[in-house]
């Protein structure tokens, strides 16, 4: 059976690995990137072709992936004058792997549905390493019939696929996941600084918590930077984390709930972003919190 032609827009840390797996599994691929040519050139060398615009990609493809920074970027690609919806291509499926605002997702899905197109939210769990390995977590929002159609495609880059329900539900689940993950990052940052300011070493925290029931994957990757000083241990920027915590706040407000922990986490990342640290990766929040408290965490690690 002929495989559907796949498009991919957004070739960042996660997208490039996902797209490479699609090519490796035999799917014809069309790509569109941004200013960085390196991932585009890598995929072209593997056999992909480059689209001149989102509209041109929609006209040529059966399924398009989006893996973009935020909802405004998704809206621009879909609604723009040369965007995907401008193609008017009935039957097109768009899989949005962006960590996005669920309210925007639901609105976009309705607009696309009126044109005979389908929007699926399929945000990601894990890291660029798993994107390269094809073992990401995927949360998927769509109906059962669409899931059956796209499951083989998603399986090329995801090892764990959870169907959450209708469109929008997967983006809500992803925000719950990132609420927990960014909460860990904020908590670990303060815990490290508290430990060092109280006479313990960063290595003490890593050793004791890392061998206890409190350890987890987020703790491991966070400490690989905070203590091991591996800058690439968790390649997710503070700017993206700050965006996600804003979306989380919006979801909590829409649910009409008290969200004091969310407010504290959002403020931690908003403060770091406002201080010019947005391009740094999330575990470096520990350095920012340390500096606010008159501490050089790297020096404390070196001292041991």
Summarize pLDDT for 220-244 with one digit per residue, the tens.
Answer: 999 999 999 999 999 999 999 999 9
pLDDT of residue 148: 97
- Work out the number of other CB atoms within 10 angstroms of the CB of residue 254: 11
| Separation between Cα atoms, residue 251 and residue 255, nearest integer Å | 6
- 49-100 residue pLDDT tens: 999 999 999 999 999 999 999 999 999 999 999 999 999 999 999 999 999 9
Handedness of CA 201, 204, 205, 206 (dihedral sign): positive
Contact in structure between 91 and 59 (CB atoms under 8 Å) = no
Reply yes or no on whether the pLDDT at 154 is more than 80.
Answer: yes
> Is the Cβ–Cβ distance between 104 and 74 less than 8 Å?
yes
Q: Is the pLDDT of residue 1 over 80?
A: no
Question: What's this model's pTM, rounded to 2 decimal places?
Answer: 0.94
Tell whether domain 6-166 is in CATH 3.40.1160.10.
no
CATH of the domain spanning 172-303? 1.10.1040.10
pLDDT band at 36 (very low <50, low <70, confident <90, very high): confident
CA distance 268 to 249: 13
- Residue 35 confidence class, pLDDT cut points 50, 70, 90: confident
Interatomic CA distance for residues 138 and 260, integer angstroms? 28
Q: Which two tokens stand for residue 66?
A: 């989006």
What's the pLDDT band for 33 if we cut at 50, 70, 90? Answer: confident
Q: Please state, for a pLDDT cut of 70, what percent of the chain lies above it.
A: 100
- Interhelix angle 285-292/260-272, rounded to 10 degrees, is 90
- Choose, from 89, 174, 243, 277, the residue flagged as catalytic: 174
Give the span between the Cα atoms of 256 and 254, in whole angstroms: 5
What is the structure's pLDDT at 34?
Answer: 77
Residue with tokens 């094809």: 134
* Range 27-50 burial, b when 16+ CB lie within 10 A, else e: bbbbbbbeeeeebbebbeeeebee
Looking at residue 280, what is its pLDDT?
98
Domains 6-166 and 172-303 agree in fold: no
Summarize pLDDT for 43-52 with one digit per residue, the tens: 999 999 999 9
Mean pLDDT of the chain: 97
Active site (annotated) includes residue 197: no
Dist CA 215 CA 206 (whole Å): 9
Distance of alpha carbon 65 from alpha carbon 170, whole angstroms = 15
Cα dihedral 79, 83, 89, 90 sign = negative
- The residue whose two tokens read 């493809």 is 61
Residue 43: its H or E element: helix 37-46
Q: Closest by alpha carbon to 130, among 150, 157, 154, 156?
A: 157
For residue 138, give every residue at least 6 positions away whose Cβ sits within 8 Å of its Cβ, in sequence order, or none.
Answer: 97, 122, 123, 124, 125, 154, 157, 158, 160, 161, 162
Which residues have CB under 8 Å from 1's CB, separation 6+? none
pLDDT given for residue 57 in this prediction = 98
Domain borders along the chain are 6-166, 172-303
> 274-304: per-residue pLDDT in tens?
999 999 999 999 999 999 999 999 999 999 9
CA angle 65, 69, 75 (to 5 degrees): 70
Per-residue tokens: 50 = 């480059």
pLDDT, mean of residues 192-211: 98
Geometric angle at alpha carbon 288, from 283 and 294, rounded to 5°: 135
User: Cα 216 to the chain's mean position, in Å?
Assistant: 19
- Average pLDDT of the residues in 148-172: 98
Q: Which of 185, 242, 261 has the alpha carbon at shortest distance from 216?
A: 185
40 three-state secondary structure:
helix
């Amino acid at each position: 059976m002929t495989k559907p032609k796949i498009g991919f827009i957004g070739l960042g840390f996660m997208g490039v690995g996902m797209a490479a797996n699609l090519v490796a599994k035999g799917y014809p691929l069309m790509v569109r990137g941004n200013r960085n040519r390196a991932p585009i050139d890598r995929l072209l060398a593997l056999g992909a072709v480059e689209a001149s615009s989102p509209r041109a990609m929609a006209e040529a493809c059966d399924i398009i992936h989006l893996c973009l920074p935020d909802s405004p970027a998704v809206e621009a690609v879909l609604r723009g004058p040369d965007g995907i919806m401008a193609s008017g291509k009935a039957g097109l499926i768009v899989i949005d792997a962006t960590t996005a605002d669920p309210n925007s997702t639901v609105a976009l899905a309705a607009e696309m549905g009126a044109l005979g197109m389908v929007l699926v939210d399929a945000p990601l769990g894990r890291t660029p390493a798993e994107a390269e390995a094809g073992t990401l977590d995927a949360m998927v929002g769509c109906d059962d019939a669409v899931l059956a159609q796209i499951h083989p495609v998603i399986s090329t880059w995801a090892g764990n696929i959870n169907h959450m329900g209708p469109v929008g539900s997967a983006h809500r689940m992803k925000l719950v996941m990132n609420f927990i993950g960014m909460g860990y990052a904020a908590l670990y940052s303060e815990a490290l600084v508290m430990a060092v300011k109280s006479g313990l070493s960063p290595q003490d925290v890593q050793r004791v918590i890392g061998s206890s029931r409190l350890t987890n994957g987020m703790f491991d990757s966070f400490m690989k930077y905070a203590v091991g000083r591996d800058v690439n241990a968790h390649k997710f920027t503070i700017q993206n984390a700050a965006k996600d915590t804003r979306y989380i706040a919006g979801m909590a407000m829409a649910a009409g709930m008290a969200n004091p922990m969310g407010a504290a986490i959002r403020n931690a990342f908003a403060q770091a972003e406002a201080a010019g640290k947005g391009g740094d990766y999330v575990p470096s929040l520990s350095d920012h919190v340390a500096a606010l408290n008159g501490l050089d965490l790297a020096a404390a690690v070196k001292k041991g």
